[in-house]
Amino acid sequence: MRTKVLLDGMWHFQIDPNGIGTDQQWFLEDNFQYMDPLFIGVVPGCWNRYAAELQNYKGVGWYFKNFEIPAVLAKKKIVLHFEGIHGDGSSGVEVYLDGKNIISHKGAYSPFKYELSGISTEKPHFLAIRIDSVQGGGIDRSVFLAFSDWIYIDDHHLNQKIEWVSQKNAKSVELTIKSFLRNDTTQEWNGRIEYTFMHQKAVISETRRNFNIQNKNSRLLTTVIVMDSPQLWTPDNPFLYELHTRVIDSQEHLVDEDFTLIGIREISTQDEKLILNHVELPINGLKIQYTSAQFGSAIPTVYLMYKLERLKNEGINLLCLDHLVDSKFLTLADHYGFCIIQSADVFEVIDSHAENLIKTMIFRDRNHPSVISWKYTRELDLSRSINEEIVTRWMNSFDKRTL
């Protein structure tokens, strides 16, 4: 079973306008304790909102926090997750744990992670994060520890094929579920996987199959579920199903589970028109910047709900995002019925790092029915090297459900 421990909340923060923190080893807890003054800031949050004197600060900033590993979870697989840090400067983000540099990351707002399995439970650990930001930065998405068994669901990919009885009515949908499972133990593992397809807790269909995975190995399981007369997802009627996936061992113990929202829809274009479920969708779109004067880019869920409800009442049905947003925004868009053009911030030379940023974005968000297309820059910058053909090929290979 999975357990999630949030590291959100109060963190210590210090500015580093002269870039001396690394040389002075601020990442060591002994040195951190003698810093004066230290700011207190909320994570998720933007440092420009922590104090009046930080309102216009741009450059390097450091975050510090102590945390402990619960002893009862010590034998689990442990992964430290960052859902997004606004470090868009040249040196990006550096993460230190107990004085050691464990991660270097570039890509503002993109998620990244680091495995901590085997870490000690006997003492608190010290986390220091150096952020280089040219626009004002911060840890503006959640930070958490994920604990799981050593047999786990690594990823889900859902494909749909709708059979139409008429131009507007769906006869059935063939849902292909690709489950990527991982065995990180030293022994072969035998068990089964169960899929329960539901709507508001009412079971529509159930499927199960036995499987095995060799030790230290992965396995892809492909399962097809056919449902007659499905309800379709549209902006006017954002109908959502739920897929509950469970992995169970030979002793009938639940090892891992996953919940995925599913919207049945088919998207295409024709003569520069957007076609949703064989019907032209009149577009009333808006390009939005995922920031607010009050919260920066660390926007609380309740505020997002307020903004989306206002846009819905104004008749907006398509949102083009200026940079990569987090999953909670897309989940709300699924429920409210917005079509989304999701964005990855790729401004630099197209290389393996840029490919990984795009892949991470698409793999995380491709099952959201609201996401109908991808883009890879906020604004076209002709001074940067962008190979559109390569980027488009990556996007098409990672997700075939979108435009």
Question: What is the pTM assigned to this prediction?
Answer: 0.91
Stretch(es) of the chain classified as CATH 3.20.20.80: 283-398
CB atoms within 10 A of CB 287: 11
Reply yes or no on whether the pLDDT at 395 is more than 80: no
> pLDDT digit string (tens) for 128-169?
999 999 888 899 999 999 999 999 999 989 999 999 998 778
Stretch(es) of the chain classified as CATH 2.60.40.10: 153-262
Residue 82 CA to residue 25 CA, distance in Å, equals 22
What DSSP assignment string belongs to 164-218? ESSSS-EEEEEEEEEEEEEE-SSS-EEEEEEEEEEETTEEEEEEEEEEEE-TTEE
Q: Which residues of 323-359 are buried (b: 16+ CB within 10 A; e: fewer)?
A: bbbbebbbbbbbebbbbbbbbbbbbeebeeebeebbb
- Minimum mean pLDDT among 111-120, 283-292, 307-316, 350-359: which range? 350-359
Give residue 374's identity as a one-letter amino acid code: W
Whether domain 153-262 has CATH 3.40.50.300: the reply is no
Domain 3-148 fold is Jelly Rolls (2.60.120)
CB atoms within 10 A of CB 165: 10
Do the Cβ atoms of 85 and 139 come closer than 8 Å?
A: yes
Q: Which of the 8 DSSP states describes residue 104?
A: E
> pLDDT digit string (tens) for 40-73?
999 999 999 999 999 999 999 999 999 999 999 9
Whether domain 283-398 has CATH 3.50.50.60: the reply is no
Query: What pLDDT does residue 35 have?
Result: 78
Query: What pLDDT does residue 292 have?
Result: 80
Stretch(es) of the chain classified as CATH 2.60.120.260: 3-148
Q: How many residues does the chain have?
A: 403
- Percent of the chain exceeding pLDDT 70 equals 94
Q: With the CA atoms of 303, 304, 309 and 311 taken in that order, what torsion angle do they form, in degrees rounded to the nearest 10?
A: 120
Query: What pLDDT does residue 223 have?
Result: 96
What DSSP assignment string belongs to 115-134? E-TT--SSS-EEEEEEEEES
